[in-house]
Amino acid sequence: MNKEEILIKTATEKDIIVVYDLVKKLAKFENEPEAVTAKITDYYKAFAERLIVIKIALFNDKIIGCTVSYDTFSTWKGKMFYLEDFFVLEDFRSKGVGQMLFDDFIGEAKTRDCKMVKWQVLDWNVGAIKFYEKNNAIIEKEWYNAKIIF
């Protein structure tokens, strides 16, 4: 497989079921398989309402990776693009697929005239941290995540 065989494109409604499965695989990878409580209908609704942007990586017409992102706003910086999910199937890691998806995410943010992109990475995911640092990301260690789940 070479990079020329990989296609990065915007997902269509028919791709959502596969993306939903990839997000569940991501949760399993992050040791939280039970944490995905959103239903597939939530994905279809968010996609139809254009709340989320889904990009997919294709190899031989098979989805092998994806990003799920959305517009948000930083009161300090301005318009921002948030990377909610970023996942590549294990057999396709370290082959440039993740870089292609990440570059597409950055390009999308620039097209949207965003001032910043943001995402989370688990402290134990050394491979991902190295990947992001290679891409000039600032890994903030002084902020804690906070949330309330309803």
Tens-digit pLDDT profile for residues 90-108: 999 999 999 999 999 999 9
pTM here? 0.95
Distance between CA atoms of residues 122 and 37, nearest Å: 20
Q: How far is CA 10 from CA 13, 54, 112, in A?
A: 10, 6, 15
Token output for 71 = 């517009």
Residues of the chain with pLDDT under 50: none
The verdict on whether 132 is a catalytic residue reads yes
* Number of CB atoms found within 10 A of residue 101's CB: 23
Q: pLDDT (tens digit, 9 = 90+) per residue, 10-23?
A: 999 999 999 999 99
Partners of 8 in the beta sheet?
Answer: 57
Contacts made by residues 42-51, CB under 8 angstroms, sequence distance 24+: 43/16, 43/19, 44/13, 44/16, 47/11, 47/13, 47/16, 48/13
User: What does the alpha-carbon distance between residue 121 and residue 140 come to, in Å, rounded to a whole number?
Assistant: 10
pLDDT at 1: 75
Q: Which of 43, 70, 132, 144 is catalytic?
A: 132
Which structural domains are found in the chain, ordered by start? 3-134 (3.40.630.30)
